[in-house]
Structure 1
Protein backbone atom coordinates (compact mmCIF):
# COMPACT_ATOMS: atom_id res chain seq x y z
CA UNK A 1 0.00 0.00 0.00
CA UNK A 2 1.43 3.37 -1.04
CA UNK A 3 0.27 5.94 1.51
CA UNK A 4 1.61 9.45 1.24
CA UNK A 5 0.99 10.72 4.75
CA UNK A 6 2.09 14.28 3.94
CA UNK A 7 -0.44 14.57 1.09
CA UNK A 8 -3.20 13.06 3.23
CA UNK A 9 -2.55 15.55 6.03
CA UNK A 10 -2.44 18.48 3.61
CA UNK A 11 -5.67 17.29 2.03
CA UNK A 12 -7.34 17.16 5.46
CA UNK A 13 -6.46 20.77 6.28
CA UNK A 14 -6.56 22.31 2.80
CA UNK A 15 -9.92 24.02 3.23
CA UNK A 16 -9.46 25.04 6.86
CA UNK A 17 -9.61 28.69 7.85
CA UNK A 18 -7.29 30.24 10.46
CA UNK A 19 -9.53 29.32 13.40
CA UNK A 20 -9.76 25.72 12.25
CA UNK A 21 -6.01 25.50 11.72
CA UNK A 22 -5.39 26.88 15.20
CA UNK A 23 -7.90 24.44 16.69
CA UNK A 24 -6.16 21.56 14.92
CA UNK A 25 -2.81 22.56 16.41
CA UNK A 26 -4.18 23.19 19.91
CA UNK A 27 -6.16 19.95 19.95
CA UNK A 28 -3.18 17.93 18.78
CA UNK A 29 -0.94 19.40 21.47
CA UNK A 30 -3.52 19.14 24.26
CA UNK A 31 -4.41 15.55 23.42
CA UNK A 32 -0.75 14.59 23.53
CA UNK A 33 -1.39 11.54 21.37
CA UNK A 34 1.58 10.35 19.39
CA UNK A 35 -0.59 9.66 16.37
CA UNK A 36 -0.93 13.46 16.00
CA UNK A 37 2.83 14.04 15.72
CA UNK A 38 3.07 13.49 11.95
CA UNK A 39 0.34 16.07 11.39
CA UNK A 40 2.11 18.60 13.58
CA UNK A 41 5.32 17.87 11.70
CA UNK A 42 3.67 18.62 8.36
CA UNK A 43 2.15 21.81 9.77
CA UNK A 44 5.54 22.87 11.13
CA UNK A 45 7.13 22.17 7.75
CA UNK A 46 4.60 24.49 6.09
CA UNK A 47 5.30 27.22 8.64
CA UNK A 48 9.06 26.81 8.32
CA UNK A 49 8.97 26.96 4.53
CA UNK A 50 6.92 30.19 4.62
CA UNK A 51 9.13 31.90 7.20
CA UNK A 52 11.98 34.32 6.65
CA UNK A 53 15.34 33.88 8.36
CA UNK A 54 14.43 36.13 11.29
CA UNK A 55 11.24 34.16 11.96
CA UNK A 56 13.16 30.89 11.71
CA UNK A 57 15.68 32.12 14.27
CA UNK A 58 12.83 33.09 16.62
CA UNK A 59 11.38 29.59 16.27
CA UNK A 60 14.76 28.02 16.99
CA UNK A 61 15.20 30.24 20.04
CA UNK A 62 11.72 29.32 21.30
CA UNK A 63 12.41 25.64 20.63
CA UNK A 64 15.68 25.80 22.54
CA UNK A 65 13.94 27.43 25.51
CA UNK A 66 11.15 24.88 25.38
CA UNK A 67 13.58 21.97 25.31
CA UNK A 68 15.50 23.40 28.26
CA UNK A 69 12.32 23.88 30.27
CA UNK A 70 11.02 20.43 29.40
CA UNK A 71 14.24 18.71 30.39
CA UNK A 72 14.67 20.56 33.68
CA UNK A 73 11.10 20.04 34.89
Structure 2
Protein backbone atom coordinates (compact mmCIF):
# COMPACT_ATOMS: atom_id res chain seq x y z
CA UNK A 1 0.00 0.00 0.00
CA UNK A 2 1.26 3.45 -0.85
CA UNK A 3 2.37 5.36 2.25
CA UNK A 4 0.50 8.46 1.01
CA UNK A 5 -2.74 6.46 0.88
CA UNK A 6 -2.22 5.29 4.47
CA UNK A 7 -1.56 8.88 5.60
CA UNK A 8 -4.61 10.17 3.72
CA UNK A 9 -6.89 7.56 5.28
CA UNK A 10 -5.60 8.31 8.78
CA UNK A 11 -5.93 12.04 8.16
CA UNK A 12 -9.55 11.60 7.00
CA UNK A 13 -10.64 9.91 10.23
CA UNK A 14 -8.39 11.58 12.79
CA UNK A 15 -10.53 13.32 15.38
CA UNK A 16 -13.67 11.37 14.53
CA UNK A 17 -15.90 10.25 17.38
CA UNK A 18 -16.53 6.58 18.09
CA UNK A 19 -19.93 6.93 16.41
CA UNK A 20 -18.38 8.43 13.28
CA UNK A 21 -15.73 5.70 13.18
CA UNK A 22 -18.41 3.03 13.55
CA UNK A 23 -20.43 4.62 10.76
CA UNK A 24 -17.34 4.61 8.53
CA UNK A 25 -16.67 0.93 9.23
CA UNK A 26 -20.29 -0.18 8.85
CA UNK A 27 -20.68 1.82 5.64
CA UNK A 28 -17.52 0.33 4.15
CA UNK A 29 -18.60 -3.21 5.01
CA UNK A 30 -22.22 -2.83 3.94
CA UNK A 31 -21.29 -1.31 0.58
CA UNK A 32 -19.01 -4.26 -0.12
CA UNK A 33 -16.92 -2.19 -2.51
CA UNK A 34 -13.38 -3.37 -3.16
CA UNK A 35 -12.10 0.20 -3.06
CA UNK A 36 -12.99 0.38 0.65
CA UNK A 37 -10.70 -2.51 1.61
CA UNK A 38 -7.48 -0.47 1.91
CA UNK A 39 -9.21 1.93 4.31
CA UNK A 40 -10.47 -0.91 6.47
CA UNK A 41 -6.97 -2.38 6.42
CA UNK A 42 -5.48 0.89 7.67
CA UNK A 43 -8.09 1.12 10.42
CA UNK A 44 -7.34 -2.46 11.44
CA UNK A 45 -3.63 -1.63 11.50
CA UNK A 46 -4.32 1.23 13.94
CA UNK A 47 -6.45 -1.05 16.10
CA UNK A 48 -3.78 -3.76 16.10
CA UNK A 49 -0.97 -1.34 16.97
CA UNK A 50 -2.96 0.05 19.89
CA UNK A 51 -4.15 -3.25 21.35
CA UNK A 52 -2.77 -5.26 24.24
CA UNK A 53 -1.62 -8.82 23.72
CA UNK A 54 -4.87 -10.07 25.25
CA UNK A 55 -6.93 -7.92 22.88
CA UNK A 56 -4.91 -9.18 19.92
CA UNK A 57 -5.51 -12.78 20.98
CA UNK A 58 -9.25 -12.04 21.28
CA UNK A 59 -9.31 -10.53 17.78
CA UNK A 60 -7.46 -13.54 16.39
CA UNK A 61 -9.95 -15.91 18.03
CA UNK A 62 -12.85 -13.92 16.58
CA UNK A 63 -11.21 -13.97 13.15
CA UNK A 64 -10.49 -17.67 13.36
CA UNK A 65 -14.07 -18.41 14.43
CA UNK A 66 -15.45 -16.17 11.69
CA UNK A 67 -13.46 -18.05 9.06
CA UNK A 68 -14.50 -21.55 10.15
CA UNK A 69 -16.75 -23.41 7.79
TM-score by length of 2: 0.92
Structure with max Cα Rg: 1
Distance 2:50 2:25 in 1: 17
- Aligned residue in 2 for 1:10: 10
TM-score by length of 1: 0.87
Q: After TM superposition, list the pairs within 5 Å mapping 1:23-34 onto structure 2.
A: 23-34=23-34
Q: Which runs of 5+ in 2 are unaligned?
A: none
- Aligned residue in 1 for 2:60: 60
Distance 1:22 1:3 in 2: 24
Note the C-alpha offset of 1:67.
Answer: 1.0
- Aligned residue in 2 for 1:36: 36
Q: Which runs of 5+ in 1 are unaligned?
A: none
**Structure 1 segments of 4+ aligned residues over 3 angstroms from their partners:** none
Distance 1:15 1:25 in 2: 15
Let me know the Cα RMSD of the aligned residues: 1.4
Number of residue equivalences: 68
